[in-house]
Amino acid sequence: MYTESIVLTEKNKLKIVDQTLLPGQLKYIKINGLEDSIEAIKKLKIRGAPAIGVMAAYTLYIIANNLKSFSRNRFFEELKFAGIELKNSRPTAVNLEWAIERINQVISDNPNKIQSDIAKLLRKEALEIHSEDRDSCHQIGINGLEIVPEKANIVTHCNTGSLATGGWGTALGIIYAAAEKNISLHVYVNETRPLGQGARLTFWELNQAGIPCTLIADSMAASLMAESKINLVLFGADRIAKNGDVANKIGSYNLAVAANYHKIPCYSAAPVSTFDFDMNCGSDIPIEKREPDEILDIYNYKKGNSDLDVYNPAFDITPAELLSGIITEKGIIKQPLKINISKLINHN
Ligand code: MRU
């Protein structure tokens, strides 16, 4: 069993694990509407590409449910506004807009339904988005077993587990699937500066699951590779361009460069909802820039000091040629990625 990051209760209340409190405290908080949801997404109380997609879908349902006795104009206007605000809350993970589009499609497919019926349809769609992600994660885990070596020493980055998705995770899902098969494995967890998703969340998740793991600082992975202590690199994705370039947590690119130098297989794992065929290549993908304080806080600088020059992009691009493949719920996409992505995704 894993920790569910997002829960819609039987009474239709939305609850999430506040991930900013981990590993100190596992606490669910209530999301009452748009304001709470946007705050939770922006402050990374909920994070991870698939999880914020699921969160956006449930938020739109909650808003519809809260407004079902209001006038049609107000109901539709507020839902439209909420969709735009949610989409703008984090720019890189495409799963967010993908999920919002699915909800918008239900609204536009049902122009004559009354508000309470639309709210019910949105509930159904949000639950489906959640359960499809759960299934995708499970299948990614199973599909990924093919590339896990017998004695696996894996380095992973950021958090791609149950906290980041609607299921048991993507890259971490593969690790959970391997552990279920009793494959001997050890996971090196990159700390993931500046916000420590590896140290706070992945290290916590793996220890909860009883999977052997070691926490390392981001700068250590290359030297472990040089000492032959790593035989697989696995990370997730926030958006994948048509040519196979992968946007993921800042530092993923470093791992891929080091893995290639040491001739270690390097894979990204993601559901098909993370592919964006409107992006020809990585440089088309919008990269979120976050507040300087996220770095300055680590070193106890005074908050809000605008005189200091800080660069804090949340994601980087791993060029397709540095990846051995991309593991999806539909199968493993191998090189050449540009050709095989469209074959696998369009032909299923
Ligand atoms: O800023 P975050 O914590 O939302 O970044 C998350 C990542 O980069 C994950 O690797 C990615 O979203 C995949 S989660 C399955």
- Of ligand 1's listed atoms, the one at least distance from the Cα of 157 is 10
pLDDT tens string 44-79:
999 999 999 999 999 999 999 999 999 999 999 999
- Of ligand 1's listed atoms, the one at least distance from the Cα of 288 is 1
The residue whose C-alpha atom lies closest to atom 10 belonging to ligand 1 is 236
How many domains is the chain built from? 2
**Residue 170: CB within 6 Å of ligand 1?**
yes
Query: Does residue 1 carry a pLDDT above 90?
Result: no
* 135 shares its domain with 217: no
* 180 shares its domain with 294: yes
* 107 shares its domain with 151: no
CB 144 within 8 A of CB 332: yes
* 244 shares its domain with 111: no
The residue whose C-alpha atom lies closest to atom 8 belonging to ligand 1 is 249
For a mutational test of ligand 1's pocket, the pick from 155, 159, 276, i.e. the residue with the most ligand atoms closer than 8 A to its C-beta, is 159
Domain boundary among 139, 173, 205: 139
Report CA(258)–ligand 1 centroid distance (Å): 20
Q: What is the CATH number of the domain that holds 154?
A: 3.40.50.10470
Check: pTM over 0.85? Answer yes or no.
yes
pLDDT tens string 159-183:
999 999 999 999 999 999 999 999 9
Rounded Cα distance between 237 and 317, Å, is 10
- Tell me which residue range forms the domain holding 47: 6-139
Residue 39, in any domain of the structure: yes
Residue 176, in any domain of the structure: yes
What one-letter code names the amino acid at 128?
A: E
Annotated catalytic sites, by residue? 238
**Residue 269: CB within 6 Å of ligand 1?**
no
**Residue 236: CB within 6 Å of ligand 1?**
yes
* 190 shares its domain with 262: yes
